[in-house]
């Protein structure tokens, strides 16, 4: 019996056999989620030349979560399955299955422990966050142990050690950390504090170090180009939340010891004098983040600021993109929801970023509100990465209808965010309107209309040019939802598909049809999707996704 099989048998036994003989009745819960993709080749939009379109034609991924609580024990088991899936890498096919997570936790008076796969964070996550984000194939749980101790109802200490999860295995480097977090109420002053301090250490294994040294031997040592790797990296932070009446102020400061990381924009010379872009560098790092909020009398104001320098934290310095990330840097742009306002979303930059965001909301009454948001993100040398102005007005007429309307202006550095050399910043203007009409309490129709105006690069529109998006969503409560939408390339740009014979840029339609059915805690979806290439983001973590063409079937259920 392999170790993986042993863990599977052990977890199944703990989750089902032990509770059956327990002295008290336990509580069982769980959930199931699955998505099946039927790929329909469309070389015109770029949905081709990967295994799913060329020969496999089908791909799927599924997750089954099981949790049980009894006699003070919390136990969980998750089965993951990937069959010809494009979720791990949209340009390749991935197939595997196994136990994606298991854990056992117990609280004994003031002492608590958890073993297995653990999700946790310190502060806002700047120095450490273990979490799951399935749409981006992120699951960096700590595979190890955590202990906690409650000094009283307001103060707790915790410590953990283990390795970061890698699909059904774990990276070989060892991670350990500790934190103390608390709360104090100054009742007479009307002020509360929630301070904390934490530290994390990552220790590389010998095989990883040998691999790093093997790479660095290819560097010349001219002008110190060959950095010296270290086994141990340390990060620490202090943070506090102050609540004083109508104000809430959060501040966190973090430092990182000098460590090796891959900088895709750094340059070096090779042995024959050629300049190479992309190099390993060794630097210490820092992050300072703060947010201040005010809310009273229908007015809400939030101001945020963040400075990030050389704060790349990974289980292995050789990893790139979203692999092996140990922490989470708060995004500093508005988290938009509409199709065209999210087309160009900035990924959080961990090497060089100076960012500010301001958000103002005012409710004239229960029926009408207005929102203004502005964000500005540069690198530490002042180069513009992202700028956004966003406004929205919302009005409700009784329970009959509701309208949202506004516009967005963006300046987006495509060269940095999508690693496309020598392209200018994309400038966009997006007006939109969202209208909801309720025929009855159980029947409603929602309409979206959005338009994106894109700036020109010489005589040609930037990127894919201008877009028009329209959507109709009809809901029958409870039960059915029907959605029809189309994203039309109204004025093609330099990257839009061309006619093979004439070379003329094509104005293509990207339609989508969805049918959803909900019964109790079960939801089923069937969709036909034709989607343009673009960036997909969740909370500032992004990746570039190729075009998609096909049919999707989704299931989600909780019990």
Nearest to 510 by CA among 337, 346, 339, 341: 339
Q: Which of 549, 515, 544, 532 is nearest to 468 (CA)?
A: 532
Q: Output the pLDDT for position 320.
A: 86
Which of residues 5 and 360 earns the better pLDDT score?
A: 360
| 317 or 10, which is more confident | 317
Closest CA to 267 of 279, 281, 284: 279
Q: Provide the Cα torsion 252, 257, 261, 264; round to 10°.
A: 50
Distances (CA, A) of 444 to 220, 273, 277, 399: 67, 67, 54, 11
User: What does DSSP say about strands 120-121 and 94-108: parallel, antiparallel, or unpaired?
Assistant: unpaired
Indicate whether 307 pLDDT > 70: yes
pLDDT value of position 272: 64
Q: Is the pLDDT of residue 534 over 60?
A: yes
Instruction: Give the C-alpha distances (Å, rounded to integers) separating 287 from 249, 290, 299, 345.
Output: 17, 10, 30, 21
pLDDT at residue 4 in the model: 58
pLDDT per position as a tens digit, 204-248: 999 999 999 998 888 877 656 688 899 999 999 999 999 999 999
What is the tens place of the pLDDT at every residue in 48-105? 999 999 999 999 999 999 999 998 899 999 999 999 999 999 889 999 999 999 999 9
Position 499 scores a pLDDT of 84
Confirm if 111 and 148 have CB atoms less than 8 A apart.
yes
Neighbouring-strand partners of residue 144: 116, 162
**Tokens linked to 28:** 């069982």
- Confidence category of residue 460, pLDDT binned at 50, 70, 90: confident
Let me know the angle formed at the C-alpha of 27 by 25 and 32, rounded to the nearest 5 degrees. Answer: 145
Three-point CA angle 526, 529, 535, nearest 5°: 120
- Residue 225: which region, alpha, beta or left (left: phi > 0; alpha: psi -120 to 50)? alpha
Give the pLDDT score at 271.
67
Q: Quick one: what percent of the chain has pLDDT higher than 90? A: 79
Task: For the chain, give the mean pLDDT.
Answer: 92
Count of CB atoms situated within 10 Å of the CB of 502: 8
SS3 142: strand
Residue with the two structure tokens 């930037």: 462
Q: Which residue has the tokens 């992309």?
A: 278
With 0-12 / 13-18 / 19 or more C-beta atoms within 10 angstroms meaning exposed / middle / buried, residue 412 is buried
In the predicted model, what is the mean pLDDT of residues 157-182? 97
Kindly tell me if the per-residue pLDDT of 30 is higher than 60.
yes
Nearest-5° Cα angle at 95, 91 to 96: 140
Kindly tell me the burial class for residue 546, based on how many C-beta atoms sit within 10 Å of its own C-beta (0-12, 13-18, 19 or more).
Answer: middle
Q: What is the dihedral of CA 45, 51, 55, 58, to 10 degrees?
A: -90
Task: Tell me the chain's radius of gyration from C-alpha atoms.
Answer: 26
Q: List, for residues 330-355, the tens digit of each pLDDT value.
A: 999 999 999 999 999 999 999 999 99
Percent of the chain with pLDDT strictly greater than 70: 94
pLDDT at 21: 47
pLDDT for position 1: 43
- Reading the block at residue 6, the tokens are 């042993």
CA 259 to CA 319: how far, in whole Å?
A: 14
Residue-level pLDDT at 538: 79
Residue 18 has a pLDDT of 55
Cβ atoms of 258 and 230 within 8 Å: the answer is yes
Mean pLDDT of 415-441: 93
- Give the Cα separation of 39 and 52 in Å (integer): 6
Nearest CA-CA partner of 329 in 252, 243, 410, 413: 252
pLDDT at 115 over 60: yes
pLDDT of residue 7: 58
Taken in order 202, 205, 210, 215, the sign of the CA dihedral is: negative
Least confident interval from 166-175, 276-285, 465-474: 276-285
In contact, 204 and 171? CB cutoff 8 Å: no
- Please report which confidence band the pLDDT of residue 325 belongs to, taking 50, 70 and 90 as the band edges: very high
The tokens of 388 are what? Answer: 């956004």
pLDDT band at 545 (very low <50, low <70, confident <90, very high): confident
Residue 528 to residues 37, 117, 346, 374, 547, Cα–Cα distance (Å): 10, 36, 28, 35, 14
Q: Are 73 and 108 in contact (CB under 8 A)?
A: no
Euclidean distance between CA atoms 120 and 129, whole angstroms: 6
Give the least confident one: 29-43, 226-240, 267-281: 267-281
User: Under a CB-based contact definition with an 8 Å cutoff, are residues 143 and 164 in contact?
Assistant: yes
Read off the pLDDT of each residue in 20-39 and give the average, rounded to a whole number: 83
The mean per-residue pLDDT over the stretch 517-527 comes to 96
Q: Determine the Cα–Cα distance for residues 46 and 75; give it in Å rounded to an integer.
A: 45
> Of 479, 342, 482, 313, which is closest to residue 408 (Cα–Cα)?
342
Q: How large is the average pLDDT for residues 359-380?
A: 96
Question: 392: how many CB neighbours lie within 10 A of its CB?
Answer: 21
Residue 393 has pLDDT above 90, yes or no: yes
Containing H/E element for 284? Answer: strand 275-296
């Amino acid at each position: 019996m392999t170790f993986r099989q042993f863990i599977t048998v052990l977890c199944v036994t703990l989750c089902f056999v032990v509770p059956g003989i327990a002295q008290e009745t336990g509580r069982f819960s769980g959930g199931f989620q699955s998505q099946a993709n039927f790929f329909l080749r469309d070389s015109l939009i770029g949905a081709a030349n990967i295994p799913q379109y060329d020969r496999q034609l089908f791909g799927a991924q599924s997750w089954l979560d099981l949790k049980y609580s009894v006699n003070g024990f919390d136990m969980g088991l998750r089965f993951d399955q990937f069959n010809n899936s494009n979720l791990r890498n949209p340009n390749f096919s991935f197939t595997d299955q196994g136990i994606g997570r298991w854990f056992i936790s117990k609280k004994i008076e003031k002492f608590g422990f958890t073993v297995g796969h653990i999700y946790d964070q310190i502060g806002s996550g700047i120095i450490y966050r273990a979490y799951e984000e399935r749409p981006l194939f992120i699951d960096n749980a700590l595979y190890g142990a955590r202990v906690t101790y409650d000094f009283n109802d307001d103060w707790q200490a915790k410590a953990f050690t283990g390795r970061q999860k890698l699909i059904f295995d774990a990276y070989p480097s060892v991670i350990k950390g500790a934190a103390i977090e608390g709360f104090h109420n100054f009742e007479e002053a009307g002020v509360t504090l929630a301070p904390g301090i934490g530290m994390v250490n990552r220790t590389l294994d010998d095989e990883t170090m040998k691999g790093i040294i093997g790479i660095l031997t290819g560097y010349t040592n001219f002008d110190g180009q060959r950095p010296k790797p270290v086994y141990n990296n340390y990060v620490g932070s202090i943070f506090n939340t102050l609540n004083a009446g109508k104000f809430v102020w959060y501040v966190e400061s973090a430092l990182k010891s000098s460590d090796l990381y891959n900088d895709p924009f750094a340059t070096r010379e090779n042995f024959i004098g050629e300049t190479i872009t992309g190099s390993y560098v060794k630097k210490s790092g820092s992050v300072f983040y703060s947010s201040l909020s005010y809310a009273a009398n229908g007015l809400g104001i939030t101001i945020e600021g963040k400075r990030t320098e050389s704060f790349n934290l990974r289980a292995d310095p050789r990893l790139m993109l979203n692999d092996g990330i140990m922490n989470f840097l708060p995004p500093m742009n508005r988290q938009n929801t509409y199709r065209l306002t999210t087309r160009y979303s900035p990924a959080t930059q961990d090497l060089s970023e100076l960012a500010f965001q301001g958000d103002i909301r005012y409710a004239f009454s229960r029926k009408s509100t207005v929102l203004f948001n502005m964000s500005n993100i540069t690198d530490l040398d002042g180069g513009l990465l992202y700028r956004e102005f966003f406004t929205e007005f919302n009005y409700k007429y009784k329970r009959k209808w509701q309208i949202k309307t506004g516009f967005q202006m963006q300046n987006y550095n495509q060269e940095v965010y999508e690693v496309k050399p020598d392209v200018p910043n994309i400038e966009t203007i997006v007006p939109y309107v969202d209208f909801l009409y309720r025929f009855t309490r159980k029947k409603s129709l929602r309409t979206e209309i959005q338009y994106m105006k894109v700036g020109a690069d010489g005589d040609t529109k930037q990127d894919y040019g201008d877009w028009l998006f329209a959507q109709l969503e009809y809901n029958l409560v409870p039960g059915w939802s029907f959605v029809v939408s189309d994203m039309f390339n109204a004025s093609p740009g330099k990257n839009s598909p061309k006619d093979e014979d004439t070379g003329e840029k094509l104005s293509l339609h990207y339609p989508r049809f969805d049918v959803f059915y909900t019964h109790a805690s079960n939801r089923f979806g069937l969709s036909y999707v034709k989607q343009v290439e673009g960036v997909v983001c969740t909370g500032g973590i992004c990746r570039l996704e190729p075009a998609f063409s096909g049919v999707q079937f989704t299931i989600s259920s909780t019990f």
